[in-house]
Amino acid sequence: MALDGIFLYFLTRELQGFLGARVDKIVQPSREEVILHLRGREASGKLLLSGGAAAPRIHFMEEVPENPKTPPMFCMLLRKRLGGGRLTGVEQMGLDRILRLEFEARNELGDPVTLFVILEIMGRHSNLIVTEEDGKIIDAIRRVDITTSRVRQVLPGMTYVLPPSQNKISLLEAEPSVIVERLREGREAELSKGLMEHVEGFSQLVCREAAHFATRGGEVLATQLTSEQSERLCFYLAGVAQSLREGTPTPTMVLEPDGRPKDFCCLPVHQYGVAMITRDYPDCSSLLESFYGDRERMERVRQRSGDLLNLLAATSDRITRKLAYQREELIQCADREQLRQKGDLISANLYHIRQGDTAVRVENFYHPEGEELEIELDPRLTPVQNAQRYYAGYRKADTAEKHLKQLIAQGEEELLYVDSVFDALTRADGETELDTIRQELRDSGYLRRSSRSTPGKKQPKIQKIPYLRYRSTDGYLILCGRNNLQNDRLTIKEAEKQDIWLHTQKIPGSHVIIRGVGENIPDATLEEAAAIAAYNSKGRASSKVPVDYTRVRNVRKPNGSKPGMVIYETYHTILAEPDEELVRSLEEK
């Protein structure tokens, strides 16, 4: 699951279509990501450069994440040095995963200068570096000092030096037969591993695909290639080289049977057979945006909402432990009837019980066969006081059971609410949504209000964000809440009584409303709305999700209930598939 050198080669060709474009805007949505808004006469686009260790990459994107309220220092530096500059050059270092973007900008005096933005895609050593024309480093998104690496430091003021060469063979410079000969003369290793060692720009997926084609799905050592296998490998490598020279990639995503993305490549993938699903994309950028979209959104949310995630996890753990203790107490209360019976039996046998007795054996008239029962006594108490002691224990257990049932119901409701907030947090996209969730937790008493706030001073209003809007194939407007506060407002205040309300059954998720429908609901619209409800819920990763639907008039909010909590009757249930492609296609832009 890595962006390799040949994939980067095709991305470089996409970038060359933007030469001459001006840097119109620069944002840094997360710690290791920068987005350059390029605007040219022939093309405009939003270029993402990520130097993060988890997913280093570069590609154009359609959906731009929300900017932080305060831009990081690296972003401010880029705005100062690159703002208004023009992209004048794009160069990849051979087929290595290093890309250098050349910009013409102006310094503080208005003089023209040349700056370079270098993206190094090297796993955990990935970086995004800005240098002057002479190679002097201006800054890097990840500074590397001697405590991090003794081999190569990346710090402002130092001269940029390329990473050490791995002495691999490039398909753009050597014939496939040279590579095959190198493999035969190398060490004894599986063919795919041998290709990884000797061929520049090949990921593990491409190496396995080449080996799969050469050996017809078999396994062979690189030093034991037969003449037929060598010819097939040469043919495959020649095809890759031709695709590189002609600029004709086949962007392919590999998906698990349940639809989850597994890997990607710029070439056709056949090695998995029917075990995996493959999907083609029109260009490399759209593939990368689709592959990394949800995962990177969740990572950005994790970075910005670590305190909320820790709070919700601790709260959920506390409630779970409390419920377990209460349920154990409730089980003990189930034996309270025996306490009352023992009190009755003592009262019926007072005449032969003396103070000081530690036990009494009596006939149990509650037993069908009248068996004798031995009852423990407190020798310090009179017989009547012993009977009252058992009656008091019975009344205490009976009262405790009633309170425990109420407390357990409240705890289960609270746990469901915390789970719903956690679900909304994992689907949040942007600082404004996070602020809304913070405000909800403050209002609910889970999060303390800032101690710095001045008494009597109004807190700044949180910017309202619109509902998620969809349009069904039949033309009906479908609205979806982003969090619990929006769910309440959408269902209780804004929806009409005849609108259709949908929600996943016993699963935390968003409220969904089909607006403007009469008595007859088109089946296609209902199924699409159910898919939207399933996708915007905790059941997003499931294959089928039960979704309840009813008229809004059948939904009500109990007094004192948590945000987003409603009850409803007279409903129907439909099994929906949380199909991401369908949901995306229904979005109103």
Q: Is residue 90 part of a domain?
A: yes
317 and 286, same domain (yes or no): no
Which pLDDT band holds residue 62 (cuts at 50, 70, 90)?
A: confident
Q: Is residue 163 part of a domain?
A: no
| Strands (DSSP E) found in 51-111 | 57-61, 86-92, 98-106
Of 89, 114, 140, at which residue does a domain stop? 140
Q: Is residue 457 part of a domain?
A: no
346 and 388, same domain (yes or no): yes
The Cα–Cα gap between 82 and 104 comes to 8
132 and 10, same domain (yes or no): yes
Q: Is residue 348 part of a domain?
A: yes
Helices and strands (H and E) in the chain: how many: 14, 22
pLDDT at 566 exceeding the cut of 80:
yes
Q: Is residue 306 part of a domain?
A: no
Q: Is residue 159 part of a domain?
A: no
Is 105 in contact with 84 (CB distance < 8 Å)?
yes
The Cα–Cα gap between 407 and 502 comes to 29
The Cα–Cα gap between 427 and 443 comes to 21
Percent of the chain whose pLDDT exceeds 90: 56
For residue 55, what are the contacts with CB-CB under 8 A and spacing of at least 6?
Answer: 292, 295, 296
Distances (CA, A) of 389 to 352, 354, 451, 493: 18, 16, 51, 55
Helix (H) or strand (E) holding 548: strand 545-551
Give the mean pLDDT of 421-440: 84
295 and 329, same domain (yes or no): no
Helix (H) or strand (E) holding 284: helix 284-304
Q: What is the pLDDT of residues 287-298, one digit of tens each?
A: 998 888 766 666
pLDDT at 463 exceeding the cut of 70:
no
Sign of the alpha-carbon dihedral angle for 417, 419, 421, 424: negative
389 exposed, middle or buried (CB, 10 Å; 0-12, 13-18, 19+)? middle
Is 148 in contact with 124 (CB distance < 8 Å)?
no
Q: Which of 167, 209, 172 is nearest to 191 (CA)?
A: 209
Any idea which of 252-256, 357-361, 564-568 has the lowest mean pLDDT? 357-361
121 and 27, same domain (yes or no): yes
- Give the angle 207-213-218 at the CA atoms, nearest 5°: 90
Q: What is the per-residue pLDDT for 464? A: 77
284 and 327, same domain (yes or no): no
The radius of gyration of the chain's CA atoms, rounded to the nearest angstrom, is 34
Structurally, the chain folds into a number of domains equal to 4
Other beta carbons within 10 angstroms of residue 317's beta carbon come to 10
Distances (CA, A) of 355 to 227, 345, 359, 377, 382: 105, 16, 10, 9, 5
Domain of 223 in residue numbering reads as 176-300
Amino acid identity at 216:
R
DSSP readout, 405-447? Answer: HHHHHHHHHHHHHHHHHHHHHHT--SHHHHHHHHHHHHHTTSS
280 and 317, same domain (yes or no): no
Of 140, 157, 184, at which residue does a domain stop? 140
Give the mean pLDDT of 256-284: 89
180 and 272, same domain (yes or no): yes
Of 249, 273, 300, at which residue does a domain stop? 300
239 and 332, same domain (yes or no): no
Q: What is the per-residue pLDDT for 510? A: 95
For residue 310, what are the contacts with CB-CB under 8 A and spacing of at least 6?
Answer: none
The Cα–Cα gap between 472 and 470 comes to 7
- CATH code at position 17: 2.30.310.10
Question: Is this prediction's pTM over 0.75?
Answer: no
Q: What is the pLDDT of residues 475-518, one digit of tens each?
A: 999 999 999 999 999 999 999 999 999 999 999 999 999 997 66
- What average pLDDT does the chain have? 88
Q: Is residue 450 part of a domain?
A: no
132 and 11, same domain (yes or no): yes
244 and 292, same domain (yes or no): yes
Q: Is residue 146 part of a domain?
A: no
- Report which DSSP code applies to 450: P
The Cα–Cα gap between 325 and 327 comes to 6
Any idea which of 440-444, 447-451, 582-586 has the lowest mean pLDDT? 447-451
496 and 577, same domain (yes or no): yes
Q: Which of 154, 101, 160, 99 is nearest to 125 (CA)?
A: 154
